[in-house]
Amino acid sequence: MPVTIRRATIDDIICMQNANLHNLPENYMLKYYMYHILSWPEGSFVATTTDVDEPQMDQLSLEDGKGQETKLDPNYLAPGEKLVGYVLTKMNDDPDQQDQAPNGHVTSLSVMRTYRRMGIAEKLMRQALFALNEVYGAQFVSLHVRQSNRAALHLYADTLEFEVLSVEKSYYQDGEDAYAMKKILKLDELHPKNFANRKMAEKLEDDFESDLLVA
Ligand code: ACO
């Protein structure tokens, strides 16, 4: 199953929002995706595959020829091109933090359930970290993650070597605490080619329970 990682464009945002709604309780209005892509067009990425049942063309068209609108399938970016993951990033543009070195923020990352544990999130993240540093001059990048999200914590802390800066109490709407995490970015260490054939000496134990969203 070939998976392509490419830069996200404005045409991808409906699918990105759809994936976000499937995978995470933290959801955003479309204009917030637009804000990311239009302001930092090289910072966000999607993972796509063509190894899917080809959707009917009319699933993708807005108009059925008789002047009636047909429903778009939000899983498909184009006929046969399905979104399987995304990472949405931005530069920190908080006017209260202008004294800080330029820095990026990972707003949202997710991979569709049947495509997990294939290295897709790691690749999306490495592309985004490289771009934030190379294109926008980010000296470091930050993110928040739920304390209970063990899969994401393994990804950030072990695979990508983020450090935990602090615990932010009741950061999430349901009252859960967040780890605030940070990684210093160094261009020579970040180049995606360094990781093309990465082999883990030691495999972490799967923790599939942590993928489950609590209703
Ligand atoms: N259990 C333990 N470790 C895991 C797991 C898991 N279930 N999944 C990923 N990891 C860790 C491992 O360290 C893994 O490295 P390894 O396979 O070499 O051991 C590393 O992450 C990379 O794994 P990937 O295959 O790249 O991760 P995947 O593509 O499966 O995506 C993700 C991980 C994004 C966390 C996925 O499980 C997901 O979409 N979850 C729901 C949404 C979510 O939690 N997003 C992050 C929220 S925080 C934020 O958005 C800033």
CATH number of the domain enclosing 104? 3.40.630.30
Q: Measured in angstroms, how far is the CA atom of residue 87 from the centroid of ligand 1?
A: 12
| pLDDT digit string, tens, across residues 21-62 | 999 999 999 999 999 999 999 999 999 998 556 555 445 555
**Residue 210 placed within a domain:** no
Does pTM surpass 0.85? yes
Q: Which atom of ligand 1 is nearest to the CA of 111?
A: 39
**Cross-strand partners of 63:** 69
Which protein residue has the closest C-alpha to ligand 1 atom 42? 110
For residue 202, what pLDDT is reported? 43
Residue nearest to atom 9 of ligand 1 (CA): 151
Domain range for 75: 3-202
To test the pocket of ligand 1, the residue of 32, 36, 118, 122 to mutate (highest count of ligand atoms within 8 Å of its CB) is 122
Residue spans of alpha helices (H) in the chain:
13-23, 30-39, 57-60, 120-136, 150-153, 187-190
* Within-domain flag for 187: yes
> For residue 209, is it within any domain?
no
